[in-house]
Amino acid sequence: MLTKTLTLTQFLIEERRRFPQASGAFNSLVLGVALACKALARRVAHGALSGMYGGVGETNIQGEAQQKLDVLANDTFLHCLQWGGYARGMLSEEMEQPWISEIAGQGDYLLAFDPLDGSSNIDVNLSVGSIFSLLRAPSERKRAETSDFLQPGSQQLAAGYAIYGPATMFVLTVGRGVQGFTLDPEIGEFLLTHPQMTIPAQTKEFAINASNSRFWEPPIRRYVEECLAGSKGPRGKDFNMRWIASLVAEAHRILTRGGVFMYPRDTKDPSKAGRLRLLYEANPIGMLIEQAGGRASTGAGPVMQVQPESAHQRIGFVFGSREEVERIERYHAEGPVAAEEDTPLFNLRGLFRPNS
């Protein structure tokens, strides 16, 4: 394989040639993330033998049970990325307050990450991953503050994820398309196996947690109902449904063969404006999806245009094949459908009967 393809390091050096003034700090950070991901891939691959299954008896800032691997993953990310002094601050799903470099003004970048995504899937041996977003730190030479992270996703310099599946992959955008690298465990390098990943504009696959259907907003109900109506319905074709309950795994499937993913804002818990986290889940996945020709949305409009208000903010997230996501946004813009109560899938004997 090494005779035919670039390693991640070589790819980053090639990219850097476009910026003769670049210091190498950017590459160092991306390679730091990749190093953390390689270490985690080994731990995950050892399964129960790693002694890392189960919870630590604590809940994180999200109110979710922390797994031992969540804590290890967070420590690994911090350790791999503090070296070099290129990060002025790091925001993690597992830390209420970001890590801030003590040296004022040191480091030109900010990192936000979900060190272990889908960690509830660990014990059942399903794919998990890590997600990261790279932002520029303010030009003013000062210590980082939480508010420095509150930048819209359109400001991201790079984003990516690692997926720890049957193979470990590292999927990256530095703003010029999306590249997929596969870990060669023999030599411990990520090799470029999926250059310029692109999402087909159309699809016959959608992913949503249907157990929440009674809480969905009307445009989502309309969209799903039309998919379920199949070849006899308004879409004129049959759809398949997928649900892995791991954002990285869903994103990876869609980047590979298209589809649409929905975790919309719903009425289940009015205090939460959606389920997924804007800064280290929706924005980085959104950048990858759009760089691959797809679309990333809140359901109503582009997710990467949203001005974040807090570090661990949640948001409704809909992404995937461009035409499908645009259709959902159109249904939002059109407002409630007049005949909604009469639609077959939501009436008394319907499959997804609403709560009313």
Helix, strand, or coil (residue 123): helix
Do the beta carbons of residue 183 and residue 41 sit within 8 Å?
yes
Query: According to CB under 5 A, which residues from 112 to 141 bind Mn ion?
Result: 114, 116-117
Position of minimal CB gap to Mn ion: 117
Phi-psi region of 123 (alpha: psi -120 to 50; beta: other; left: phi over 0): alpha
| Residue 114 or 148 having the CB closest to Mn ion | 114
Residue 329 contacts Mn ion per CB under 5 A: no
Closest approach, Cβ 174 to Mn ion, in A, equals 22
Closest approach, Cβ 280 to Mn ion, in A, equals 8
Q: Which residue has the tokens 């604590």?
A: 58
Helix (H) or strand (E) holding 84: none
Q: Give the binding range for Mn ion (CB under 5 A) out of 37-45, 51-59, 88-96, 215-223.
A: 88-96
State the Cα–Cα distance between residues 214 and 296, nearest whole angstrom.
24
Residues in contact with Mn ion, shown as a per-residue x/- string from 160 to 199 under the rule CB under 5 A: ----------------------------------------
Question: Beta partners for 44?
Answer: none
| Residue 117 or 266 having the CB closest to Mn ion | 117
Closest approach, Cβ 131 to Mn ion, in A, equals 7
Closest approach, Cβ 5 to Mn ion, in A, equals 30
| Residue 93 or 266 having the CB closest to Mn ion | 93
Closest approach, Cβ 295 to Mn ion, in A, equals 21
Q: Give the binding range for Mn ion (CB under 5 A) out of 86-94, 198-206, 224-232, 308-316.
A: 86-94
Q: How many residues bind Mn ion (CB under 5 A)?
A: 4
Residues in contact with Mn ion, shown as a per-residue x/- string from 92 to 111 under the rule CB under 5 A: -x------------------
Residue 15 contacts Mn ion per CB under 5 A: no
State the Cα–Cα distance between residues 16 and 28, nearest whole angstrom.
11
State the Cα–Cα distance between residues 37 and 34, nearest whole angstrom.
5
Residue 250 contacts Mn ion per CB under 5 A: no
Closest approach, Cβ 257 to Mn ion, in A, equals 22
Closest approach, Cβ 114 to Mn ion, in A, equals 4
State the Cα–Cα distance between residues 131 and 114, nearest whole angstrom.
5
48-78 exposure pattern, b = at least 16 Cβ within 10 A, e = fewer: eeeebeebeeeebeeeeebbbbbbbbbebbb
State the Cα–Cα distance between residues 271 and 256, nearest whole angstrom.
34
Four-point Cα dihedral 209, 211, 212, 218, nearest 10: 90
Q: Name the site residues for Mn ion (rule: CB under 5 A).
A: 93, 114, 116-117
